[in-house]
Structure 1
Amino acid sequence: SENQGAAVQRQVQLALFFSLFCLVLSEEIWYSVPEEREKGSHVGNLAKDLGLNKKDLLKRKLRIVSNANAQFLRVNEEHGDFCVGDRIDREAMCGKSPHCVLNFEVVLENPLNVFHISITIEDINDNAPQFVKDNIRLEISESSLTGAIFPLEGAEDPDVGRNSLQNYQLSPNKYFDLDTKENADGNKYPLLVQSKSLDRESELSLHLVLIGLDGGEPLKTGTAHIWISITDANDNAPVFTQEVYKSSIKESTPKESFVLHVKASDADEGLYAQITYSFSSIPAKAKQKFNLDPESGVISTREALDYEDSRSYIMLIEAKDGGGLLAHSKVEINILDENDNTPEVLLTSVFSPVPEDAPPGTVVALISVNDRDEGESGKTTCYMQGHLPFKILSSSNNYYKLLTDGPLDREKTPEYNITVTATDKGTPSLSTHKTISLQISDVNDNPPAFEESAYSVFVPENNPSGASIFTIKASDPDLGSNSRITYSILNSNLDELPLSSYVSINSETGTIYAQRSFDYEQFREFQIQVKAQDGGSPPLSNNITVRVFILDQNDNSPRVLYPLPDVDGSALFEMLPWSAEAGYLVTKVVAVDADSGHNAWISYHQTTEPTLFTIGLHSGEIRTAQAFAKRDVVKHRLIILVKDNGSPPLSASVTLNLVFAENFQEALPEMTKTQVDSDSQSDMNTILIIALVLVCVLFLFTALTVLIVKYQRRTSPAAFASYNTEMYSSLGPRFSCNYSNGTLALPCAYEVCLSSKSNQNEFAFVKPSQLVATDTAITADDSGIGSESLSGNLSSDYKMQVSITGI
């Protein structure tokens, strides 16, 4: 109706005004919505009530925290409209509770805020009163007195307030009136009051109609039929020992446990004194929970109880004797709460992964803890197990924040499994554990680290250019590009040439290459500064010093410093007196080696046969071995060999001429003679070299001739046939062959002809000569080796006569 719609609109407006007022005070928003509203019905604009504009909605991720009530309402993330998401049945949610409130939490991020939304569900008259039994059957004795009261089972209406059951009506009759009573819980039940005595003889039974009415608009009713059988007289009704029976039991009481014992007595005897017990008026929930023994009157539990489901039960017990007389008593059973519900832990938000450089106090998770118990059993605390760099702080309304409480290091701990424990304050306390897996993301907080604090590299000299001499290795515990290392050379202590002409480094592998061959005698060591840099942003780097030591090799021969030879290469002369005794120091050979270490150890050796002189192995001192005798030679020639200690050893030699003389005039003739002998010896050496060269040339010529002859033997079909001049004359002027049979003291002779043109390279045919057998010597004209053959012009035909001795 229009009036009802206007009333609902006014209530919504009042609720919005109240919600805005509460938002300013406590960040709680109240709404009101009637039950059974259609899906999508507008409740309110949450963005407007929170003071947010549309741009902030998507940015701050407005959303309802998931809980048991989240299905009934939904929020538009773009506009902030709050609307009905599912059918709302107030009776199913809150039962007979006078106030039905749904609580929600709305979360906004950036910054993180939690708003508490309370929605009051308004009751509508959507349920009619309904009797537990549609047909109520009573047996009333005709002796029942006027004013007798007969309680009836009332009707139940799940609505509340004016929409609930308000009154009963009884169909018109002359025997009974209707009275209505109200229980402590507010439920009304009818009483049938006898107004006139009954007469079984005139009427055996009565049929009455009982109507239950609620106060809603429109009015709704429920009907039950009362069938009354009039029995014979029984003038004593049962009497209960108590008008009200009360009992309190724990919710953990197992089923089929004793609750209480109702007792009624009857003064009659026989059949009229036999009493049976039954529930005359009991709610449907109570009937499911409790059982009444009809003979003993013992009430016991039928199934487990739950304080959170119902805190108390009220029922009417009827005692009926054998004559049909009734008595009624009320039973109140209170349920005692126990700590039987563990806390419920809900992860509202988890922000993972967390950067390892997150400052202390960074929110990483939002936790909601709820406990269905009441009192101390419903109060909870939340804490974290283990010693981890996190802490838990209470927020509001059972919300907790998980915060960082120290520095994080992904290289040490890349992942945390945080166990959160929620414990209530009941006795004994109950706990719930929830594990949160939290990943730590990498940041570039570790520079590259070398395996050593400094490196020493030993490279033998004369190394090949471009060879690798060492590999530097650095590591970075970061991930991805933060751990990708590149190497470079910063500087060195080499000033003579650019650094790139000495060494280079592979930027990816760290391998150092020698760009030139090192010489130990030029420099013995140098150092470079190597930089390792990761690929982070900003990049981190580390430097290290690499000292390169050049190892000596025996690549230098000893060099004689004294005595030095003359300019023309002749040996030096040393004079010693005739009176020199054994051990007389004649001279000293001094030599040096540019190498070092063992390679530079020098020893001196005399290559000639033992003479009158000795030389010190390491000192190089030349001394007389014995005194000079008149029979000894006046002039001595010594060749001293100087060797180093390398492997293989290198050496140098020096020649000394020693002359016994008292003065220079006596030694001059020997020195002059030596010079002449030296010149003569030099000329002789030149002659020997020339002769050796000629012999080699003749040997090569002979070998070539033999090869040509063998080749011609293989290719000629008639090795010993006579020479056919016509066969070769037909070849034309290019092959002009002047030949001569000649006379050789050999089995055969051959002639080789070459092309007459200088630009042709073809060989002429090898022509067999006529076989001759003669001992005549070869003349200049017949031999083919005359001046005409050897001294002719090079551009004319070449003719070579080769004589080969037969085998």
Structure 2
Amino acid sequence: MVGKLHHRSTVGLRHRAPGSQRVRRSWVWNQFFVLEEYMGSDPQYVGKLHTDLDGGDSAVKYTLSGEGAGSIFTVDQTTGDIHALSRLDRETKPYYTLHAQVFDKATGQPLEPESEFVIKVQDINDNEPKFLEGPYSATVPEMSPIGTYVTQITATDADDPTYGSSAQLVYSILHGQPYFSIDPKTGVIRTALPNMDRELRENYQVLIQAKDMGGQLGGLAGTTVINISLSDVNDNPPRFSKSIFHLRVPESSPAGSSVGRIKAHDADIGKNAVVEYAIVPGEASAVFDITSSGHDEEGIIILKKRLDYEMKKTYTFKVEASNVHEGYHHLGLLKDTATVKVTVLDVAEPPAFSKPSYNFEVYEDTPVGIIIGAVTAQDLDVASSAVRYSVDCTMKSDCCFDIDPVEGSISTTERLDRERSAQHIISIVATKVNTPVLSSHVIVTVHVLDVNEFAPELSAPYETFVCENSREGKVIEIIGAQDKDLSPVLQRYTFRLPPQEVNRSSFAVWDFGNNTAGILTRRRHFRRHMQALYLLPVVVTDSGFPVLSSTNTLTIRVCACSRDGTPISCSGEALLLPAGLSTGSLVAILLCISILLVTLVLYVGIRHQRKKGTLMSSKEDVRDNVIHYDDEGGGEEDTHAFDMVALCSPKVSDGDLLRESALKARSHSCPLKQDRLAVQDYIQQRLQDHTADTNCPPYDSLVTYGYEGNGSLAGSLSPIESETAGADEDLKCLRELGSPITSLIEILNKLDVQSDSTGNAGV
């Protein structure tokens, strides 16, 4: 197919009148085509370039530029004819874009603007269809109905699908019928036969053809192979190889042992071939069980309990084999049934106890020889034999018992103690008289019952505290109890105060009912200087028989606390004692210190009395009053004011006497540094003088002042009671003296010396 490219312009271009204007015309052209794969000997004519300025006198020249100009395409410069010089392939390049131009040969000037045109390569059917992804494979379930989709394949053709029928494909099956069919236009493959059975044939090879030109004669064709496999469905039931299986088993076989194996075969594969075995319900299902071996699909028959030849010699039952997975719906249930016959073989057996184990109870401290129970065993074989019993004394605890060899009655050989051992395990042996090598064992557990012989007690030596600013009804401690008789889980404890303490105690006991109790305050505002320590008796009672109880002492200290209840300081005992020192130990230590102080005072007093007269006759410096100020007088008991025995009275203590004398001897403002040094030197000198003076009376000491005598109706005339607020400041000033008095005061403070309400003091 050829075309012509023509350009029109004004007539007489070369001879136009001066001043006339040329009117430009556009190129007029038809589509240029060239056949691909041209096989001729001459160049293939494509088309012609022409302009109306060409008068046929060869005065114009045509030129060609663009894709393939000069190499693939050429133009006759005089006539404008275009030819193709080489063989073209549309599938390689479907079209070429070129530019045409016309020039005046005389002047070499272009007569018209350049024009663009296209040469299109015209398609021929020179490419066959191709299956680019072959060979193919597909799977379809067996027993599928006709028309079941298998897969779809597609071929490609490189020819022009828009021109002619060179790329119009038609599919067909060359080999593989009558099992499968293919849609000629879409290439969809479907089953063509119903109920294809995988167990008969599993794989199919199908040859597919794709032909262009719509399948007409002369068209090109391509082929491919598709391998189609039938996938398995559960369409076959399991089958036993025979209808009855014979098995034998000795009666001595233990429970859980294997009796034998049976097998059913399934023609399916994979999960569809998994077989599940079950014993049809009946008498034998309580004796036998069956499980699958897994790897070889066998059924293993096992014993659920021991067999007895004397009781039953044969068992007959049915076993069912079925598929675990759902079967093909047209075939119904997929299962098979076989009969199993088990023969029991007779075996000589040891005696059999009437129970698998025995449990007996006995109270502790039961007299020796008391029978606590009996065991029974018998020979179940056809030739029955007598049985003898014995204790397998392999453990020390087993030797606490004996057994009658004929009757099997068990008795104690020693007194039992539950607190030492609450349970005894005995191994009893039963032996056949006719066959001693055949014996059996049974375990007997003896539980020793408790006799309530231990009183309960608090679970710990509780020591707690109460704040001085504590409110009434506050729980200051939670207490528990313990008992050597039974564990707390089985025991029930109650807590209370002794009857004599119920109304007068500052604390109460609240029993929570769960083997614990709380200690509550019954008043508010405790005072350390009045009483720093409380010893609270608590009665703990158990629930045994007979009921036992004990009285335990709870130590409660009075402490100064912060607002949130945190203790800041407690009694001197709590501060001074190391961890683990008990209250009794502290009382003993304080008693020893008191005896030593009293002895020292008496000794010094006797020596001083020998050397001097009374204290009132002393004419020494007034500063001497610090250590021998006279007694201010008592009341009705004034005659005992200077009794040396009174120094040892528990109602008055040396520490407070010393403290009161020190307070009387100074003003309530601390002295200046130089004054403190002078007083320190004086006190040191006086202490040395009195130490060396064997006649110094006992009144001339720091520990004699402040004893006023008990029962004075007038009350105390001492300024100590009225100046309690300044007591701490006074002690601070005495410490600053740095003298031996400082050491004495430090000792008193560590012992937590507190002044009582009468103004007297006690250590």
Output the TM-score relative to the length of structure 2.
0.36
Q: Structure with the greater relative contact order (CA < 8 A, sep ≥ 6): 1 or 2?
A: 2
